[in-house]
Homo-oligomer: A and B are copies of this chain.
Amino acid sequence: MISRLWRILIGKPLATRRAKHERLSKLTALPIFASDALSSTAYATEEMFLVLWVAGTVGLAYSVPLAIALAALLFIVITSYRQTVYAYPEGGGAFLVARENLGEVWGLFAASTLQIGYVLTVAVSIAAGVAAIISAFPFFIDYRIQLCVLFIALVTLANLRGLRESGTLFAPPTYGFVLVMVLMIGVGLFRLATGSLEPADAPPMPGVDLQTVTLFLVLTAFVRGGAALTGTEAVANSVKAFRPPESRNAAITLAWMGIILGSLFIGITYAANKLGVAPGLNAEGHVVKTLTSELAFKVFGDTPFSFMYYVIQIATTLILVLAANTVYADFPRLSSILARNGYAPRQLANLGDRLVFTNGILLLGGIAALLVVLFRGDTHALIPLYAIGVFMSFTFSQLGMVRRFMRLKPPRWQIFALINAIGGVTTAAVFMINFVVNFRYGSWLVLLAAGGVVVVLYKIRSHYQNVREQLSVDNYQPEPIHNHKVLVLVPGVHRGVLEALDYARRIAQPEDIEALYINVDPQAPPIYRRVLKRIGKEEDPQLHLVTPATERMRDRWDTYVKDIPLKMVDSEYRSLIEPITEYVEQMVERDDIDRLTVVVPEFYPARWWQRLLHNQSAWMLRLVLKRYPKVAVTSVRYFLKR
């Protein structure tokens, strides 16, 4: 029944041979790999504003230089990633690069930070997407969390169904988003220039008294704005998805992405500044109208093109959901790589019915949903955790590259190494700053989590190694089974039991078979006890066992079975399980038995509800008897017709 539901939701299984890998042109690749990075422009500026705003317009003025600084940082990161792209035409994720050049531990560290980053990407992007909707349709404001969870569920489902990252899916929303953003910025600045919009100052931040600009404040704004750089590693991870010459095309795409991302980010920040817009906060100081939404409204709200406002909001939501969606390819892939290397549970390694890593997708969806609920769908609360993980993995891959150049020493390696060194050092620096200024916003938590994950990965690895050793067949001779005994559990004498006994006779000689009957109602009826009393044996336990129930059983046994000895045991506590396990334990301890098959006669009802009407002792028993090395449990079922 459940499996049918699953089929309906997920669709028919796909044959392995249908796994195809389309090669992408630059134009189709860009939207696929850039959506994540570009989408971050939807919240990066806002994050800077929320920090600087406490210092009023003076503070907000810093946002433009900061945006430019971040664009420069972006340039550095991308230049060094271009080198990775050339160095690893097969695809150079931080994990691969770090492991190959810095060694196992750092590789795993990179992997775990990547994984954490992925999960946060989903959480942040979805939260931001929902924020965009709420800004346009305040009605949904009370359903923020529900909406987030709903979106995550939908994306998860889509990916379980095996949604392919096709250009057709990504191109329209991504290019659309870029287009409308450019439009917004352009029109905004044009109206400023033509004076149809007055340059204005942002209103003071509600509920906070004006503070002066401190270095700490600026640095905080800087690292928060660093969220704009998230997702830039996407291209490097999947170079081989490009049409040949793979590396070259990837590098070009990367450059284009950088240019678009940088200019959008600076553009939005500049326009927002000039037009004096600020995010709309509610009484608790939570963002209810995003900065981009306010900006879009300022630009188009009073024009005949006011519909553009809604277009922009929807485009924003779309690209953000897409951004989350890209992770649904990366996270499970990395998990499966880890699993193949024995670092993660095997279940994460196998492709599901639909040629996707089902378990990985479910895991990602689950954790992301949990995060969104914990942080009440608040982008602003998630960002501090987000950026830090990303910059960590940046650092790992850059330093990895440096080591690589120093190792392989290709022509002019010094320059290359230097470039990556610069990249690595800067990102490392940003990471440090991030860690410090965001400490009380949970940056320590991310580091802790990353460490924890690494430990777990190692534990898992060592377990799998142990298992392999223990199971290896080199110089191992199984001592053949000499004495195989069979114990048939008999609740009474009925067809099911006779079949079970017959089965037992088939797998062993009668003299090796024994039947066990548990009498769960040992208390002798009053009359009978009076008899015992009269003969003064009331306390004799042996006699006490022989109740009418057991006598009847004995008679039936002698009539219908004969050849197999029947043991009867009295259950003091009226439960089946304990006495049976006790009995089995005794048998297992005997040296003249090196394999015991416990045969459990079950009958299999015709309808499902009928199962509720029978004790589930069979599987309870199997559960308990599992613990005994020598024991093999076999259930012989008798099928009921009605």
Contacts and interface: CB of A to CB of B under 8 A. Distances in A.
Interface of A: 13-17, 19, 345-347, 350-353, 460, 463-464, 466-467, 470-473, 476, 478, 480-481, 484, 493-496, 498-499, 502-503, 506-508, 520-523, 556, 560, 572-575, 595, 597, 603-605, 610, 612-615, 626, 629, 632-642
B597 A634 contact: yes
Between A13, A506, A603, the greatest number of chain B beta carbons within 10 A of the residue's beta carbon is seen for: A506
A572 B16 contact: yes
B353 A615 contact: no
Contacts of A16: 521-523, 572-574
A460 B613 CA distance: 8
Given A353-B575, A613-B345, A498 B523 contact: no
Given A16-B573, A472-B495, A481-B502, A632 B639 contact: no
14 contacts: A13-B575, A16-B521, A16-B572, A346-B613, A346-B614, A347-B615, A350-B520, A353-B575, A466-B642, A473-B493, A480-B502, A507-B597, A629-B639, A632-B634
Given A493-B473, A574-B353, A632-B634, A481 B467 contact: no
A476 B556 CA distance: 14
A229 B398 CA distance: 84
A595 B473 contact: no
A574 B350 contact: yes
Indicate how many identical chains form the complex.
Answer: 2
Given A13-B572, A481-B506, A629-B639, 17 more contacts: A13-B575, A17-B523, A345-B613, A346-B613, A350-B574, A463-B605, A464-B613, A471-B494, A473-B556, A478-B498, A478-B499, A480-B502, A481-B503, A484-B506, A503-B595, A604-B626, A632-B634
A464 B347 CA distance: 42
A614 B597 CA distance: 25
A19 B615 CA distance: 23
Nearest to A12: B573
Nearest to A492: B471
Contacts of A347: 615
A638 B626 CA distance: 11
B466 A495 contact: no
A610 B466 CA distance: 11
A409 to B, nearest CB: 31
A467 B351 CA distance: 43
Contacts of A638: 471
Given A345-B612, A346-B613, A573-B16, A494 B473 contact: yes
A376 B615 CA distance: 34
A346 B573 contact: no
Contact of A466 (B466, B615, B640): B640
A294 to B, nearest CB: 40
B635 A633 contact: yes
A389 B197 CA distance: 76
Contact of A626 (B575, B595, B629, B637): B637
Given A464-B613, A484-B507, A573 B502 contact: no
A473 B502 contact: no
Contact of A467 (B464, B502, B603): B603
Contacts of A346: 613-615
A229 B280 CA distance: 64
Contacts of A19: 523
A640 to B, nearest CB: 5
A573 B472 contact: no
Nearest to A640: B470
A573 B353 contact: yes
Contacts of A556: 473
Between A353, A466, A478, A604, the greatest number of chain B beta carbons within 10 A of the residue's beta carbon is seen for: A478
A476 B495 contact: yes
B640 A573 contact: no
A470 B606 CA distance: 12
Nearest to A498: B478
B350 A603 contact: no
A15 B467 contact: no
A481 to B, nearest CB: 5
Given A346-B615, A353-B574, A575-B13, A470 B495 contact: yes
Contacts of A13: 572-573, 575
B634 A633 contact: yes
A496 B632 CA distance: 13
